Amino acid sequence: GSCLESVKIAIDTGYRHIDGAFVYYNEHEVGQAIREKIAEGRIKREDIFYCGKLWNTCHPPELVRPTLEKTLKILQLDYVDLYIIELPMAFKPGDAIYPKDENGKIIYHKTDLCATWEAMEACKDAGLAKSIGVSNFNRRQLEMILNKPGLKYKPVSNQVECHPYFTQPKLLEFCRQHDIVIVGYSPLGTSRDETWVNVSSPPLLKDPVLNAIGKKYNKTAAQVALRFSIQRGVVVIPKSFNPQRIRENFQIFDFSLTEKEMKEIEALNKNVRYVELLM
């Protein structure tokens, strides 16, 4: 239920872009929140930008559309605004989200990412997804799609980890050249959950530079980190279940960072990922 409440608070606060996925196991709550807010008359469906994701076990082309249809059924929506390939590697299809062999090793699956992409294009043509994109793709993987013979639609976006300690300058430049929007996940340096986060990297929001700049504008380090990203053209998707922090993360449109401050924050880059995706 916490996701339902948080999405409703977020919509009331003004957020319109909602980043979801089947593997977050809360699409039913997200869909309910959106539908409730539509019923209240606060928003229309077309005001919301919902991003869904194709999980690793669903890469074979024949599974792509049924997987998206399942997401739509859970959301109880007719279309998603953006559907993206969550990761460039495929796992063995089946009910197990992390299929493992008897030694506990992930069982991968051979699929052709370009064939998966063609199935994504078909979802757009069918009107089930307004736009299609990718996530966690590096330059080579993007080039594979961009150079695919007979490409119908380019990926509109690439969702990757991006924040002041991991600024992705080269990927950002490559994507800019190809009109691919970078959507930055973990824009606040994510949680300190040891099960999936590399906690040996220093916590972003304790950074002295971010805090000092924040003090000048009467903003928090979190607000400075988010403002930095949007000011360099990176879309941010901060996560919070806390109403006060949900609102705080939206109060970033009433100040701007100077060129010097942007450079200072860019210089914080450590090229270190919090989310290592070791599988």
Active site residue 83: no
Residue 239 contacts ligand A2P per CB under 6 A: yes
Considering the complex, state which of residue 118 and residue 161 has its C-beta at the smaller distance from ligand A2P. 161
238 interacts with ligand A2P by CB under 6 A:
yes
Q: How far is the CB of 69 from ligand A2P (least distance, A)?
A: 29
- 279 DSSP β-pair partners: none
- Residues 190-209 contacting ligand A2P, CB under 6 A: 190-191, 205
Minimum Å gap between C-beta 189 and ligand A2P is 5
> Given the complex with ligand A2P, which of 38 and 251 has the nearer CB atom?
251
Short-list 254, 218, 252, 221, CA closest to 234? 252
Q: Mind giving me the DSSP string for 60-99?
A: SHHHHHHHHHHHHHHHT-S-EEEEEES-SS-B--SS-SS-
128 to 167: interface string for ligand A2P, x by CB under 6 A: ----------------------------------------
Question: Does 88 sit near ligand A2P (CB under 6 A)?
Answer: no
CA atoms within 13 A on the CB side of 229: 30
Q: Is 65 in the site for ligand A2P (CB under 6 A)?
A: no
Q: Shortest approach of ligand A2P to residue 238 CB, angstroms?
A: 4
| Amino acid code (one letter) for 51 | C
Toward ligand A2P, which CB reaches closer, 2 or 258?
2
The interface with ligand A2P within residues 33-62 (CB under 6 A) comprises: none
Tokens of 8: 């409703």
Tell whether 59 is in a known binding site: no
Nearer to ligand A2P, 2 or 76 (CB): 2
Q: Which two tokens stand for residue 193?
A: 């959950």
Q: 150: which 2 tokens? A: 């007979």
24, 25, 98, 108: the catalytic one is 24
Given a contact cutoff of 8 angstroms between Cβ atoms, the answer to whether 214 and 223 are in contact is: yes
Contacting residue, 20, 31, 164, 187, with ligand A2P by CB under 6 A: 187
Tokens of 63: 């599974």
* Measured CA angle at 94 (ends 119, 122), to 5 deg: 10
What DSSP string describes 108-138?
B----HHHHHHHHHHHHHTTSEEEEEEES--
Q: Which residues are annotated as a binding site for substrate?
A: 109
**Interface contacts to ligand A2P, rule CB under 6 A:** 186-191, 205, 220, 222, 238-242, 245, 248-249
